[in-house]
Amino acid sequence: MASILPQVLNLFLQFIDSFGFLVLSAIGLAIIFGMMGVINLAHGEFITVGAYGTALSFHAGLPLPVAMLVGVALTTVFGLILEFTIIRRLYGRLLDSMVATWGISLIMIQGLRIVFGSSLPSIGTPLGSVQYGSFSYSTYRLLLAGASLVLLGVLYWVFTSTDFGTRARATIQNEEMSRALGTDTNRMYLLTFGIGSALAGLTGALYAPTMTIVPGMGSTFLVEAFVTVVVGGASVLVGTSGAGLLLGFINAVFSNLFGTFAGRMALLVTTILVIRALPRGITGLLEDVRGET
């Protein structure tokens, strides 16, 4: 018993770590895709902006939490400017928006490299580690998993219980009708894109102390983000958290037993199976279940 307990704990910690990573990677993308129908291929670079903002202001002497806020603010402003200048013209043009955001992503990666060089000094991970048996886990990473849960809760509240949330959802469901009822839909799109950007920035800010800060760092979030959104389906909150649970569990089990490579394979195989069996993702499955009862 004594030897099995740390193993189980290991699996659990890896599961919530993995869940946090998937949810935080995907949430900004999910909001922009789910609410606005824009596939933001520059999502990874939004995360990078958050991380750069955090790292630069941290090295300029700000305390880490403040530096993270700066990172989030910077990404939000950046997202709003992009929405206002480029994305706004691409609503309803799915393929065009993909090409445009991909271009933005390429420009940003090389732009960051030209301006800041090929790497920024890292930020040491704060908070130390927790010990259990012969194992230990970074406390900060557990905090990240907690942050993803809090974030899901906050978003649920924003989109169900606030005036903004109601108007935003109305805009998604029927743009003309909500305009007729007095909602400034352009403003709704702008704000939604801003929130999506802020969330991507937050992901970058939160992960900045655990990673090497380089111009291409966003790409490591991108696969997980897309996989989570695809498996989750159209509903932002239910889909993202459901996909996070499923994929996080599978990733944790396989990488714990057979190593990182197996974990990744399992993640992608699961995604293929889900797309094949449930084309509308977990959202679709839940809707069917709800429809039957």
Binding mask 245-284 for other proteins (x = CB under 8 A): -------x--xx--xxx-xx--------------------
CB of 50 to other proteins, least distance (A): 15
Distances (CA, A) of 274 to 124, 247, 253, 269, 281: 38, 11, 18, 9, 7
CB of 251 to other proteins, least distance (A): 8
Asked if 65 touches other proteins (CB under 8 A), the answer is: no
- Interface residue with other proteins, options 12, 84, 131, 187 (CB under 8 A): 131
- Of 109, 126, 131, 118, give the one whose Cα is nearest residue 210: 126
Answer whether 57's CB lies under 8 Å from 177's CB: no
Closest to other proteins by CB, 69 vs 223, is 223
Closest to other proteins by CB, 77 vs 223, is 223
Number of residues this chain uses to bind other proteins (CB under 8 A): 46
Q: Which stretch binds other proteins (CB under 8 A): 33-41, 96-104, 117-125, 176-184?
A: 117-125
Closest to other proteins by CB, 188 vs 225, is 225
- Interface residue with other proteins, options 216, 245, 275, 278 (CB under 8 A): 216
Closest to other proteins by CB, 172 vs 206, is 206
- Interface residue with other proteins, options 36, 42, 82, 123 (CB under 8 A): 123
Binding mask 82-101 for other proteins (x = CB under 8 A): --------------------
Closest to other proteins by CB, 18 vs 283, is 18
Query: What is the number of other CB atoms lying within 10 angstroms of the CB of residue 247?
Result: 27
Question: Which residues contribute to the site for other proteins (CB under 8 A)?
Answer: 10, 13-14, 17-18, 21, 109-110, 113, 117-119, 121-125, 127-129, 131, 134-138, 140-141, 209-212, 214, 216-217, 219-220, 223, 252, 255-256, 259-261, 263-264
